[in-house]
Amino acid sequence: SNSIAEVVVASDPLPSWNESSTKQQIIDFVTSTTTTGSPDFVPEADRIAVFDNDGTLWAEQPMYFQLIYAVDFIKKEASKHPDWQTQEPFKSVLSGDLSAVMKGGEKALLEMLMVSHAGMTTEEFGKSVNSWLQTATHPKTGKAYSQMIYQPMLELLEYLRANGYKTFIVSGGGIDFLRVFAEKVYGIPPYQVIGSSIKAKYDVVEGQPIITKLPEINFIDDKEGKPIAIHLHIGKRPVFAAGNSDGDYAMLEYTSKGDGPRFGMIIHHTDSLREYAYDRDSPIGRLEKGLDNAPMFNWSIVDMKTDWKVIFPFD
Amino acid sequence: SNSIAEVVVASDPLPSWNESSTKQQIIDFVTSTTTTGSPDFVPEADRIAVFDNDGTLWAEQPMYFQLIYAVDFIKKEASKHPDWQTQEPFKSVLSGDLSAVMKGGEKALLEMLMVSHAGMTTEEFGKSVNSWLQTATHPKTGKAYSQMIYQPMLELLEYLRANGYKTFIVSGGGIDFLRVFAEKVYGIPPYQVIGSSIKAKYDVVEGQPIITKLPEINFIDDKEGKPIAIHLHIGKRPVFAAGNSDGDYAMLEYTSKGDGPRFGMIIHHTDSLREYAYDRDSPIGRLEKGLDNAPMFNWSIVDMKTDWKVIFPFD
Ligand SMILES: [Ca+2]
Ligand SMILES: [Ca+2]
């Protein structure tokens, strides 16, 4: 029978990755952790790989897509809420003045999220997101948001799974929002999706159980929240982690400091032509500490411009 | 190639179950939901089965085993806490007067749980539970608690998994406590274990990431909390649910009211000789509403005395 290394040679598992040292590091890691007898062998039960979503698996510029969903939801529902015409942050959302919305800070964002994510059943919310995903398009590419995913990362997810890794999303985005597309788009089932959440309640209405989303934060899955959520939902320390911003620093650190072989990956947005270029000064996906300390942890920095042959599936 | 039905006939997947209608209902359900072309076929991605733990997968008398762990922990640590000699509920725990502890109600139980579950890292807690599991024994059988598991349910878990079902634990017990033994004892990996939890925090101490358990409730996975936790952790409505008390009523109802084929199972403790007999009046594992409404939902009541050939693996 063929060893995994031979199969890898026979057919390139990462065709959208250029032949760089980054690609070689990934293949070396997967080969050494899955080859029986290798000193770095990891039992299949411990092959846990975690991925941030915004800016790691799909794009996040010019604004988090979930926030664009909230804006579009508010516009769609405005006729039912005449008070929004005069009430911030809705007034600015409706007049298209997003910089004014941003000036409202976290409170304004929270109000937008609560209005567009709470006060409905989980089924209603899922349907609403799904219908938005089928009609809304990205302002720069004109493509559906579910196509704004990184082809090289899809190949990486598939490559890891083909080698016995379980792939999880660990995102600051909303867990119910992510689950609407994660299975179809990334091949990641809902029970392997971890995200931020609002509280919910269970009721039986006319004999039918419903779960209603409440306007109250349950958990923010960002920064130090990521290892906490990994512990709560997965219960094992990952051996592979990928992120793109300092919001992923704790998750990468938690992963890398485990015993035995570990892989930490940072997606560095360096391609202003094919995607966007941003890092230290970006309000979205700010990456500073991660870049500075990557050598100390031996994290692989993926240079999107030079490491990736294509970025999006439609490229 | 053989159909699943033929394989089932060829070798009994549930040898510890008597040839009763309950056993036949299980086999009929698994066969009809996994046979291609069957009107009740369920795609593999939707084959989610959830199991309560205490009283459903392992015993819960004369007291929840996790509470026995807390008692033993307090006794073991007492020399470091001289104040416990005079302070309730610890004083009564140390003098062995558990009925006095119970009179302290929820507050006393919570204090016992916090002292024995918080203020330590997740790794320290895991080691402590593991070492307890290897030494403590059940007062009635003299066996280790990890042997007080129901052999027929082990077979059911295995049978479901062999047919493409994912098996999850959804327990009122502590999620970190359950995970210490769930993988080894039930074959259920930590990311398929859902339970009650206390809050936690992430720190880096001398370069090493640690997660510390905090003395504050995060989530109680009981009653209406069970469907909420299923939604949060699994994100799909189960098609199969098993429980043993009214704490499982909402989970069973949520499962049964979904579209398409559904299986709800209630373990009825009817065997005072081989195990324990209790239901409507029991302070532990009280089962009243579930018994009354089982016919309405078409739930299968497992009569432990007549449906199970053996109860424990050591029988
Ligand atoms: Ca990100
Ligand atoms: Ca129970």
Which of B120-128's residues contact partners 24+ apart within 8 Å by CB, and which partners? B120/B212, B120/B213, B121/B210, B121/B211, B121/B212, B121/B213, B122/A231, B122/B176, B122/B200, B122/B210, B122/B211, B122/B212, B122/B213, B123/B210, B125/B176, B125/B213, B126/B176, B126/B179, B126/B180, B128/B73
Residue B8 has φ and ψ, to the nearest 5°, of: -60, -45
Are residues A231 and B200, on separate chains, in Cβ contact within 8 Å?
Answer: yes
Are residues A208 and B257, on separate chains, in Cβ contact within 8 Å?
Answer: yes
Give residue B3's pLDDT.
57
Indicate the fold that domain B4-61+145-307 takes in CATH: Rossmann fold (3.40.50)
Q: For the beta carbon of residue B261, count every other beta carbon within 10 angstroms.
A: 16
- Pick from B189, B211, B253: CB nearest A231: B211
Q: Which residue has the tokens 């059988």?
A: B141
- List the pLDDT tens digit at each of the 315 positions of chain B: 455 555 555 689 999 999 999 999 999 999 999 999 999 999 999 999 999 999 999 999 999 999 999 999 999 999 999 999 999 999 999 999 988 888 888 889 899 999 999 999 999 999 999 999 999 999 999 999 999 999 999 999 999 999 999 999 999 999 999 999 999 999 999 999 999 999 999 999 999 999 999 999 999 999 999 999 999 999 999 999 999 999 999 999 999 999 999 999 999 999 999 999 999 999 999 999 999 999 999 999 999 999 999 999 999
What does the alpha-carbon distance between residue A306 and residue A110 come to, in Å, rounded to a whole number?
Answer: 37
Centre of ligand 2 to C-alpha B287, Å, is: 9
Residues of A with Cβ-Cβ distance to B227 under 8 angstroms: 202, 209, 211
What does the alpha-carbon distance between residue B281 and residue A148 come to, in Å, rounded to a whole number?
Answer: 58
Give residue A104's pLDDT.
86
What does the alpha-carbon distance between residue A261 and residue B115 come to, in Å, rounded to a whole number?
Answer: 35
Are residues B233 and A233, on separate chains, in Cβ contact within 8 Å?
Answer: yes
Say which DSSP state A84 is in.
G
Q: For the beta carbon of residue A298, count every other beta carbon within 10 angstroms.
A: 11
A–B CB contacts, 8 A cutoff, strictly below: 91
Residue B249 to chain A, least CA–CA distance (Å): 12
Residue B79 to chain A, least CA–CA distance (Å): 31
Which residues of chain A have a pLDDT value below 50?
A: 1
Segments making up each domain of chain B, as ranges: 4-61+145-307, 65-135
Give the list of residues 6+ apart from residue A50 with CB closer than 8 angstroms, or none.
A167, A168, A169, A170, A230, A234, A238, A240, A241, A242, A251, A255
β-bridge partners, B174: B196
Centre of ligand 2 to C-alpha B301, Å, is: 14
Give residue B304's pLDDT.
98
Structure tokens at A126: 């899922």
Work out the end-to-end distance of chain B between its first and last CA atoms, rounded to an integer number of angstroms.
37
What does the alpha-carbon distance between residue B161 and residue B48 come to, in Å, rounded to a whole number?
Answer: 10
State chain A's mean pLDDT as an integer: 95
Residues of B with Cβ-Cβ distance to A235 under 8 angstroms: 175-176, 179, 190-191, 193
What does the alpha-carbon distance between residue A140 and residue A276 come to, in Å, rounded to a whole number?
Answer: 10
Kind of pairing between the strands at B240-243 and B48-51: parallel
3-state helix, strand, coil in chain B (%, to 5): 45, 20, 35
Are residues A179 and B235, on separate chains, in Cβ contact within 8 Å?
Answer: yes
Centre of ligand 1 to C-alpha A7, Å, is: 32
> Can you say whether the dihedral through the CA atoms of A84, A85, A86, A88 is positive or negative?
positive
Indicate the fold that domain A4-61+149-307 takes in CATH: Rossmann fold (3.40.50)
Centre of ligand 2 to C-alpha B156, Å, is: 17
* Rg of the Cα atoms in chain A: 20
β-bridge partners, A277: A270
Structure tokens at A56: 């790691």
Centre of ligand 1 to C-alpha A284, Å, is: 8
Say which DSSP state A82 is in.
G
Mutate to test the interface with A, among B169, B181, B232 (most CBs of A within 10 A): B232
Return the closest-CA partner of residue B112 out of B66, B77, B70, B82: B70
Are residues B191 and A234, on separate chains, in Cβ contact within 8 Å?
Answer: yes
Give residue B105's pLDDT.
85
Mutate to test the interface with A, among B169, B180, B211 (most CBs of A within 10 A): B211
Are residues B257 and A207, on separate chains, in Cβ contact within 8 Å?
Answer: yes
Give residue B126's pLDDT.
97
